[in-house]
Chain A
Amino acid sequence: MTRISHTQLFALIVAFEVGSTTLFALGIGAKQNAWIVIIVAYIIGLGLLWVFTQIPKYYPHRTFSEILNETLGKPLAKPLILLFSLYFLHQTTHNFYEFGALIKMTALANTPLIVILYFFIFAIIYILSLGIEVLGRTVEIFLPYIIFFMVVIAILNMFSGEFELQNLRPVLNDIPSIMGEVPRVIAFPYGETVVFLTLWHFIRQQSAIRKSTYWAVGLSTFLLILSLIQIIAVLGAELASRTEIPLLETLLSINIAEIITNLDSIGVFLMFIGGFYKTAVHFLGFSLAMVWFFERHNPNWVIRIGGILLPLFSMYRFSSLDDQRWKGFETGVYVILIYSFIPILLMLILHLKNKTMKRKESHQ
């Protein structure tokens, strides 16, 4: 079986987490306290990640389907695999449509959306058909650019003259609104990492999964807070909550001596790379779960057939970007919470099952 290193896993998680979060001012419902929402959600998210990374410790190098079959038995495991695959498909269509629509809005205004989506999916089909190690190697190449551009944007923003730290004050003035926003941020982006349950068996060094995941999520949280502070400091909490792509707006406001300006191309680069990996990982999760459901071994047929149908399905599901965002904000977040809660129950069942098995063995 093809495997990826824990460094590639690290890169994949950072690209996945930073992916669509650059598009939103996360937790902006708490106004200038949004960055505090991220810190609180990160602490709770770490607990969630502990559960996700505990499951492969019981069954190292085993697929998610094998773990479910052994824990719950086939009659209960099969429908759950199907549900997980449909949930991953739901997440794929959301990210896929959103990034396609945003690229149309920011870079390719005259190109029909379906053409953008097909070009997007052809690249995903090609990379995923070559196997997860190709996905891992490409993200390893792109990650330094993502981090570099995000740090450069932060530095340029600070010298742009629009950066007002006063916009971040008063701090902690509205605790109920902070707590109200926390569940949303736990779900998006921390709960979304539930998709990595389908990929853990690909990691060569199973003992390094938790460490790599924690470091990756720590780095992406830092990048997230950095971009959020810039957005609020440049735009102000009120404008940030109303803007469609806040990061792009902050980039457009950078103008240093009429030389360093029009940096929206960097924003489009970040959006495309992030969106690409977010869609690709969810789509790979969907393909693998489908293959396990039908008890096959090669996911390539799902990747190809599913990939060709994906733009049509996405266009059928969402009539516009507003429709997609409305569905995502109103219910999508709760769906993520539901599917990230299931592994907690699974882990508890695994723990109890192991306990009863060990006791039986000691009695024999």
Chain B
Amino acid sequence: MTDVFTPTRWSEAEILDRFRAAGVALPAPCLPGVKANLALLEDRWRVVQAALAEIEP
């Protein structure tokens, strides 16, 4: 298990590959909105990760 979640570092090809692996063929018009939402999720995960690091022994 890894605690790393950094989709803003993923290339567009990598994003498309990850969707294909999940069984979803991402339509091109969705890519900008998906990238924006992945960035938000990355930001939120960073906040959670920092809190976990502080509360766990």
Binding partners A and B: no
User: Could you list which residues of chain A lie within 8 angstroms of chain B, going by C-beta atoms?
Assistant: none
Interface on B for A, CB 8 Å cutoff?
none
